[in-house]
């Protein structure tokens, strides 16, 4: 078979996150998103979960040194143009990831601070949250907390659009990175509202709230879409706008996997 004279080249993106056996979130959601947006996805797995749409039945962390080796292997031959982190699980893994990116010339780094489950349960131990705040967030290009995570990071309740704006600005002041505070869980009428502060300007992103649809994996998909657009050369504010459009389509045009609704990253 004769190969074409010039093969296609796709931007490489790395996700450092946990595996979801149900395919709805974690690295599975990230890889689907990268592919849908024309990127080549690579992974460093931090933990393996036994889960389905009804919940998580077990979780097995990957050794921190093995997480580091995965990252090193990717960077050695497949240098990513952007990196996204998700569930980092432990203090040890967070420190390994932070140490790597403090040593290496890093591409844009999108940190989805997976700290609080949809149920409201805190997923990281206090020591891991401290490590995230002290070591990883100062290295980030963007942090993307949901409402509960933003409240945990700023130490107070957020009840209004003004609160979201203040929180985004405060997160930038604390950690030196841009902040996208996702207000989807806040009851602000018929719109799901997110606030981006990039250090200079605010952007308020609105989309019609889609009711009655499972939101499992939306945070992963949203952050992965931002990373993919950054890898393709978009500036941060534009990458966030495009990612907001992407996640809104994925929710609006969700499909059924078995008996359960699932995000449709292939929606056009």
Which entry of 39, 47, 177, 220 is annotated as an active-site residue? 220
258 classed as catalytic:
no
CA 159 to chain centre: 23
Annotate 114-181 with DSSP letters as a single string.
--B-TTS-B-S-HHHHHHIIIIIGGG-SEE---HHHHHHHHTS---SHHHHHHHHHHHHHHHSSEEEE
Which entry of 22, 23, 26, 219 is annotated as an active-site residue? 219
Which entry of 43, 49, 218, 221 is annotated as an active-site residue? 218
84 classed as catalytic:
no
Reported for 246-250, long-range contacts at CB under 8 A and 24+ positions apart, including other chains, are 246/33, 246/36, 246/37, 246/221, 246/222, 247/218, 247/221, 247/222, 248/192, 248/207, 248/208, 248/210, 250/218, 250/221
Tell me which DSSP letter residue 88 carries. Answer: -
Which entry of 23, 24, 26, 217 is annotated as an active-site residue? 217
Which entry of 33, 85, 215, 221 is annotated as an active-site residue? 215
Which entry of 18, 41, 49, 182 is annotated as an active-site residue? 182
220 classed as catalytic:
yes
219 classed as catalytic:
yes
177 classed as catalytic:
no
CA dihedral 236, 242, 248, 252 (to 10 degrees): -160
- Catalytic site residues? 182, 215, 217-220
């Amino acid at each position: 078979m004769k190969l074409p004279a010039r093969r296609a080249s796709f931007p490489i993106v790395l996700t450092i996150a946990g595996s979801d056996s149900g395919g709805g979130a974690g690295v599975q959601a990230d890889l689907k998103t990268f592919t849908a947006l024309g990127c080549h996805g690579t992974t460093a797995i931090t933990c393996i979960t036994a889960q389905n749409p009804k919940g998580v039945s077990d979780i097995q962390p990957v050794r921190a040194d093995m997480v580091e080796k995965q990252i090193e292997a990717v960077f050695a031959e497949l240098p990513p143009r952007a990196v996204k982190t998700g569930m980092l699980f432990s203090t040890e893994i967070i420190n390994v990831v932070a140490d790597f990116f403090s040593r290496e010339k890093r591409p844009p780094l999108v940190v989805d601070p997976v700290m609080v489950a949809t149920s409201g349960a805190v997923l990281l131990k206090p020591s891991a949250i401290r490590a995230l705040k002290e070591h990883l967030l100062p290295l980030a290009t963007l942090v993307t907390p949901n409402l509960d995570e933003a409240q945990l990071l700023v130490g107070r309740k957020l009840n209004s659009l003004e609160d979201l704006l203040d929180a985004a600005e405060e997160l930038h002041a604390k950690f030196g990175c841009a902040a996208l505070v996702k207000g989807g869980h806040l009851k602000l009428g018929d719109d799901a509202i997110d606030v981006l502060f990039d250090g200079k300007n605010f952007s308020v992103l609105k989309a019609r709230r889609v009711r009655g649809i499972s939101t499992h994996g939306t945070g992963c998909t949203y952050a992965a879409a931002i990373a993919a657009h950054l890898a393709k050369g978009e500036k941060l504010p534009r990458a966030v706008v495009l990612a907001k459009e992407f996640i809104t389509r994925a929710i609006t045009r969700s499909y059924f996997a078995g008996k359960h609704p699932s995000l449709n990253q292939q929606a056009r």
